[in-house]
Chain A
Amino acid sequence: MIPLLIYIVIFAAAFFIVTKVVQGAGTKDYTSLKTVTFGDESAVRPNRAAGIISILTIFLMWGIFTGSNLLPGFLHAPGPFEGTTTFTYTAQAEGQAPDDATVTVIVHPREIDTDAPEVEPGDGFAKNDSIAIAQWRSGLVSVDRNDEITKKDGARVIAIDGQKIAPGETVEVDGGAVTLSDKGTPNFTPEKGWQMEPLYLPAPEAVWSRTLEIMSDGFRNFTLVEHLGYSLFRVVAGFLLGALVGIPLGYAMGLSDWFRGWFDPIVEFMRPVPPLALIPLVIIWAGIGEEGKIILLFLAALWIMAIAARAGVSGVNISKVHAAYSLGASKWQIMRYVIVPNSLPEIFTGARVAMGVCWGTVVAAELVAAEQGAGMMIMTASKFQNTDIVIMGIILIGVIGFGIDMLMRWAERILVPWKGKG
């Protein structure tokens, strides 16, 4: 809840600062002079500053709630309690005056082992105790174990820091809270603060250093580049095979009644089947090796490419075909000079979709079973609670997916500049 509120505040503050203060006096180009912008799609352009601030905000939030070293300390969300604190408990026993004793608690980071400190036993039948508790954990303090009168003898804890307490109730103390268990033993929970435990969300620099470490040492017998390279290789191989079969199939479906009739039911049936649903069958048939994954990606790309090629052929303006015939072109010349170039924009759109689907599918397939690959890396890491590797993997998968799409767009701009100009 609190992170969401902070995020909304940053969003709103950045909006006002950037649009009203910084850009208010900016240049006046044609679009900025439009009075009707609400509903005019062409007047809505992504605000560059918003994009940059948005990305920075994500890292800022990440840093704030993980206590990142990259941020100055005052920006950190309150961290978990660390250090030594004390609370007193009041014990009562049959025929005795209630007696106070002090519990000294050392709260230490999880990765540093710490022993409970030595303490003076003190006066009375209740003796002082000590305990060491790791951050984000809690600890039962068996206060009676060194007392002269133990629980077995009828001693009970009736108050913490002077406040009355009964089993199941909680009393706030310095550096945490004490809850009395059902059996009457105080349970100390150190203050967790607002930060995420590194086990759940490591700080950005921890992810970065883990990335460097895996880049040099590798993960599970394969280097990082090999893991990602395997995934990419599967995608490219599966996609190329899919395109190699799918595009001619789509052309045939666009140009021949018989092919259209024969393959329409198959293509229309297979198109809505998510490739992920095929993983079990492909594993049964082809095992968990490379063949299985490439077959899966081939199937993921095949229908998309076939449908794109079919749409490309069907989308040709009949005037163009008629014009080419009247200019003396043969069937093959019409195929080569009219139908193929006319279908390229559709095929490129299909290829972009297919590459995206293939990338998603390969990661999912590797999650299920693989010896190497981006998906296998994050799945294995999660089993060992290596959250930093999981996050690193997710970021790398996202970056590569984005990179593939950018590459396809670039190729599209270079190779089919006439897209959308017909």
Chain B
Amino acid sequence: MSLPGQTPDTGEHGGDKMTGLSINNLSMRFDLPNGDHVQALQDVSLDLKAGELLSVLGPSGCGKTTLLNIVAGFLAPTSGELILNGHKVTGPDAERGMVFQQGALFEWMSVRENVGFGPSMKGTPKVDKDKTVNHLLDVVGLQDFKEKAVYELSGGMQQRVALARCLANDPDVILMDEPLGALDALTREKMQSLVLKLWKETGKTIILITHSVEEALLLGERLIVMAPRPGRIHKEYRLPFADLGVDADLREVKKHPEFGPRREEILNMIWDMEEEIMGGKEDVA
């Protein structure tokens, strides 16, 4: 898909060293007032080519959200660095859009104003802005709701607005922090298809954090499982399901012979980590 006023992205910048996101030896350590410290991330390294969709799984406390906040630029790492398209990331920027679980839309603005927020901030001429907004509202299927207040929409519709708002800014990387976590199962499935469709059409680099193993498998072209204490990458996968899901029903994809075993494997992995955490806690007690 090429948005009006945007450069079409063919998703073929993989070989170019200047594009893509490099996470190099990232560590994050919080000092606690009592002299203790928490090692939220230790030596995390990862290279994402432009247009890749990475899903991140892991038990609570493994540093998923910290990682995402560092990539977004909301937190500065204690060591290591982050290179996006050849320059160092030091703070939040429009090149890295973020989709939150919920509560991040502006209730004082209509759907149209929310989607057009990024272009408005940049001072995009009204004509171009309206074009972009209208196009994106068509893509996410909210054209009929554009003058509504966001609090009048259902949870699924609100997340569509959040997606459209993020895309309107044409970021290089989209960061998603459990964007579908608060939705019911049916809406969630529809939204998963939408995310895949948008990913394929826009060729954006996407990092998706989720608690759902199925969602991570379905959407992640690549998938990392993180482990806690200290937060680190435990295992990495390359998966075929996201490419299949672009054109097929996601329920069909789940019937793929590799899907079930992968799911079991990862579930067991996370389950073991959780057990370890619980066990550790019981020892302390």
Contacts and interface: CB of A to CB of B under 8 A. Distances in A.
A327 B149 contact: no
A418 interface: yes
Contact of B92 (A326, A342, A422): A326
A333 B104 contact: no
A327 B121 contact: yes
A15 interface: no
A319 B104 contact: yes
Given A319-B103, A341-B108, A326 B94 contact: yes
Interface string A310-327: 000000010110111111
B93 A421 contact: no
A422 B72 contact: no
Contact of B118 (A319, A327, A342, A344): A327
Given A329-B117, A337-B117, 18 more contacts: A319-B101, A319-B103, A319-B104, A320-B104, A322-B74, A322-B98, A323-B104, A325-B92, A326-B93, A326-B166, A326-B175, A327-B121, A337-B121, A342-B108, A344-B108, A416-B108, A418-B107, A421-B107
A106 B106 CA distance: 79
B117 A327 contact: yes
A330 interface: yes
A330 B106 contact: no
A391 to B, nearest CB: 45
Most chain B CB inside 10 Å of its own CB: which residue of A317, A319, A322, A328: A328
Given A333-B121, A417-B149, A418-B149, A327 B97 contact: yes
Interface string B121-132: 110000000000
30 contacts: A317-B104, A319-B101, A319-B103, A320-B105, A322-B74, A322-B98, A323-B100, A323-B104, A323-B105, A325-B73, A326-B72, A326-B73, A326-B92, A326-B93, A326-B171, A326-B175, A327-B118, A327-B121, A327-B166, A328-B121, A328-B122, A328-B169, A330-B121, A333-B121, A337-B117, A338-B106, A341-B106, A417-B149, A421-B149, A421-B151
Contacts of A416: 108
Most chain A CB inside 10 Å of its own CB: which residue of B74, B92, B122, B165: B92
Contacts of A325: 73-74, 91-92
Chain B interface bracket (under 10, 10 to 19, 20 to 34, 35 or more): 20 to 34
Contacts of B171: 326
Interface in B164-206: 165-166, 169, 171, 175
Contacts of B103: 317, 319-320, 422
A337 B165 contact: no
A327 B104 CA distance: 12
Interface string B235-251: 00000000000000000
A328 B118 contact: yes
A337 B106 contact: yes
B96 interface: yes
B247 to A, nearest CB: 30
Contacts of B108: 341-342, 344, 416, 418
B102 to A, nearest CB: 8
Contacts of A421: 107, 149, 151
Contacts of A330: 121
Given A322-B74, A338-B106, A327 B100 contact: no
A333 to B, nearest CB: 5
Contacts of B175: 326
Contacts of A317: 103-104
Interface in B45-92: 72-74, 91-92
Contacts of A328: 93-94, 118, 121-122, 169
B268 to A, nearest CB: 33
Nearest to A344: B108
A29 B104 CA distance: 36
A329 B175 CA distance: 17
Interface string A341-373: 110100000000000000000000000000000
Most chain A CB inside 10 Å of its own CB: which residue of B91, B117, B149: B117
Nearest to A340: B108
A318 to B, nearest CB: 9
B129 to A, nearest CB: 13
A338 B98 CA distance: 16
A327 B166 CA distance: 7
A48 to B, nearest CB: 28
Contact of A327 (B74, B101, B151, B165): B165
Nearest to B108: A341
Contacts of A338: 106
A418 B91 CA distance: 30
A392 to B, nearest CB: 43
A192 B115 CA distance: 77
Interface in A60-85: none
B151 A418 contact: yes
A123 B21 CA distance: 127
A320 to B, nearest CB: 5
Ranked nearest first, the 4 interchain pairs of A and B with the lowest CB-CB distance are: A328-B94, A421-B151, A418-B107, A325-B92
A213 B72 CA distance: 72
A328 B73 CA distance: 12
A317 B74 CA distance: 14
A21 B92 CA distance: 67
A329 B151 contact: no
Contacts of A417: 149
A164 to B, nearest CB: 85
Nearest to A418: B107
Nearest to B96: A326
Interface in A142-198: none
A73 to B, nearest CB: 59
Interface in A369-421: 416-418, 421
B92 A322 contact: yes
B273 to A, nearest CB: 27
Interface string B242-264: 00000000000000000000000
Contacts of B94: 326-328
B177 to A, nearest CB: 9
A339 B107 CA distance: 12
